[in-house]
Chain A
């Protein structure tokens, strides 16, 4: 039975901590009961309560003392509420802190706008120096947690809520910083779909399975340094891209890729400009925002023009 991204995170971190005494797990009252890390390593587990700014600054002090603190809360309370702590401790001072942000995008569904975060990647990206990862499914999430624990760099890892997906196949030795190209690798496709995050990747899988004219490239890391590293490979695939990302257009990976590939056409399938004011499931809220299979197919058709794809 597969686990959701955030359950995978807790489980993987608890496992890693058996062999790495420097790992610390910090929660801000949103880790839930029976946390596997707390059960396995109670002396290195700290629920600091509802105090996100202080938690990140405390993590900075722990990092300076030689530890590898992982701090988890919801994306909105990390990237938006504690933005200044992240800017200073992680962006400017590059302290070795890992933020694991669940409830990315509108995965909180009926919880409402306070619990949604369609702005986090833009905010974190603007602080520089922070690795940003949006893993898809259990295996990729576990791999990203492993890579974060081994790295000296600050990390922002965006997860969703409780959805359970199987990650795309990835070679044992490959890093999550490598692009995953779904299906057979081919070049000069009419359109390259770029997926970022869980729902986007599921959408792009669906399209790629039925449309031979498009290639699907999945990006796990979307910080600026990672995006730059993809450019050569992406341009081998196509000169027309549609980036699918559960985020605002402002500060999106699409906008960054457009700046990095001025000679290419870069389109964005994103969550638009509306505030998600209604309840419903994750999918319901995405539908309201115009993010989903049908509007994506329409957008692909429009990009393809009269010839279509």
Chain B
């Protein structure tokens, strides 16, 4: 069990925000611990997406009609940390991440509670969440399909194949949060296969588009409160490795295995 108070009880806004920020700090410590495991982890993207994950779970963790899918599955460390801190999984993922016999694999594992779909092969989480959203629509329920994807992931045609269907079938109960950290495995997205005019691209597929700071919890929560009669795309500007000065903004920090002493130093330096 974790030591963080659950955050979904009604509490004053400022206290709620402070609570969430405290949770993100704990989550970052867990991610750093997973980077210090025998296997290491995708630390850069995990640290860029963690504020978004914590924000989304804080709002929807008790909504059984809403599914949250981390489509950029390589950042499983962030998802495991989030599920643990929200008491959705019992075991501390950092204690067995990547180990023989552990379900905490390097990409999300549907054998764990509250992970309905094993992502990791990029693109698949988006149509899965869209299918869930379509199901809620057929049942006349107000549940959502929420997907957190990466900007590099948008190089996969499957993302746009799905956007086409979302528009065609008017799946408006859908939120696509793009963690725009600008990096991917081999370097910068802008160098490898740039995503020009991302806002216009999503708009052309019938999405309402909002741009936010993906590390600003107030903006994240405000964006999730937006009324939208179209599918909503949140383009969240983030920093790869956010919170650890030594690797912030460095695409080479996509994956790292660090010694314990470095992990301790990085955890102490978290703001």
Q: Using CB atoms and an 8 Å cutoff, list the residues of chain A in contact with chain B.
A: 24, 43-44, 46, 48-49, 51, 53-55, 57-67, 84-85, 88-89, 92-93
Contact partner of B67 (CB less than 8 A), chosen from A43, A61, A66, is A61
User: Among B134, B139, B161, B168, which residue has its beta carbon within 8 angstroms of that of A61?
Assistant: B134
How far is the CB of A94 from the nearest CB of chain B, in Å?
9
- Asked if residues A92 and B138 are in contact (CB atoms below 8 Å), the reply is no
Interface size, B (range): 20 to 34
For A64, the chain B residues whose CB sits under 8 A away are: 67, 116-117, 128, 131-132, 135
Contact A53 B158, beta carbon cutoff 8 Å: yes
What's the Cα separation between A24 and B131 when bound, in Å? Answer: 12
Q: Which of A49, A61, A93 contacts B131 (CB 8 A)?
A: A61
Q: What's the dominant secondary structure at chain A's contact region?
A: helix
Report the tally of A-B residue pairs with Cβ distances under 8 A. Answer: 95
A58 pairs with B127, CB closer than 8 A: yes
Restricting to B133-159, which residues have a CB under 8 Å from any CB of A? 133-136, 138-139, 145, 158
CA gap between A243 and B161 in the complex, in Å: 40
The smallest beta-carbon distance between A84 and chain B, in angstroms, is: 6
CA distance A46 to B168 in the complex (A): 10
Contact of A92 among B116, B118, B135, B136 (CB under 8 A): B118
B→A interface (CB under 8 Å): 67, 110, 116-118, 121, 123-124, 126-136, 138-139, 145, 158, 161-162, 164-165, 168-169
Beyond the given A61-B133, A62-B135, A63-B131, please list 14 additional residue pairs across the A-B interface where CB-CB is below 8 A: A24-B138, A48-B168, A48-B169, A53-B127, A54-B158, A58-B131, A60-B131, A61-B130, A61-B134, A62-B134, A65-B132, A65-B135, A65-B136, A93-B118
Within the complex, which residue of B131, B133, B138 is in contact with A43, where a contact is CB–CB below 8 Å? B138
Q: Identify which of B67, B116, B127 gathers the most chain A CB atoms within 10 Å of its CB.
A: B127
Residues in chain B near residue A84, CB distance under 8 A = 121, 124
Supply 15 A–B pairs (Cβ within 8 Å), ascending by A.
Answer: A44-B138, A48-B165, A53-B158, A54-B165, A55-B165, A57-B126, A61-B117, A61-B129, A62-B132, A62-B134, A64-B67, A64-B131, A65-B131, A65-B132, A67-B135
CA distance in complex: A89, B118 (Å): 8
Cα–Cα, bound, A24→B169 (Å):
14
CB contact between B135 and one of A48, A49, A53, A61 (< 8 Å): that residue = A61
Q: Across the interface, which residues of B come within 8 angstroms of A93, CB to CB?
A: 110, 117-118
Complex Cα spacing A64 to B131, Å: 9
- The 9 residue pairs across chains A and B that have the minimum distance between CB atoms: A61-B131, A65-B135, A57-B127, A58-B131, A61-B132, A54-B127, A54-B161, A51-B161, A61-B128
The residue in chain A whose Cβ has the minimal distance to the Cβ of B159 is: A54
Question: How many Å lie between the Cα of A57 and that of B123 in the bound state?
Answer: 10
Decide yes or no: A54 and B162 within 8 Å by CB, A61-B67, A61-B127, A93-B117 being known contacts: yes
Considering only CB atoms, which chain B residue lies closest to A63 in the complex?
A: B131
When chains A and B are docked, how far (Å) is the Cα of A269 from the Cα of B28?
A: 60
Q: How far is the CB of A48 from chain B (nearest CB, A)?
A: 5
> How far apart sit A93 and B109, CA to CA, in the bound complex (Å)?
10
Shortest Cβ distance from A99 into chain B, in angstroms? Answer: 15
Q: Which residues of A contact B130 (CB under 8 A)?
A: 54, 57-58, 61
Which residues does chain A contribute within 8 Å of B121, judged by CB atoms? 84, 88
Residues from chain B with Cβ under 8 Å of A48 in the complex: 165, 168-169
A81 to chain B minimum Cβ distance, whole angstroms, is: 11
Q: Return the chain A residue nearest B158 by Cβ.
A: A53
Q: Find chain B residues with CB under 8 A from A89 CB.
A: 117, 124, 128
Q: Is the CB of A88 within 8 A of B135?
A: no
B139's closest neighbor in chain A, by CB? A65
Task: State the CA gap A251–B94 with chains docked (Å).
Answer: 41
A62, B131: Cβ atoms closer than 8 Å: yes
A93 to B69, CA, bound (A): 15
In the bound complex, how far is the Cα of B129 from the Cα of A55, in angstroms?
A: 12
**Complex: how many Å from CA A67 to CA B136?**
10
Report B-chain residues with C-beta under 8 Å of the C-beta of A46: 134, 169
Q: What residue of chain A has the Cβ atom nearest to residue B156's Cβ?
A: A53
Known: A49-B165, A49-B168, A93-B110. A67 touches B127 (CB 8 A): no
Cβ-defined contact, B165 with A51, below 8 A = yes
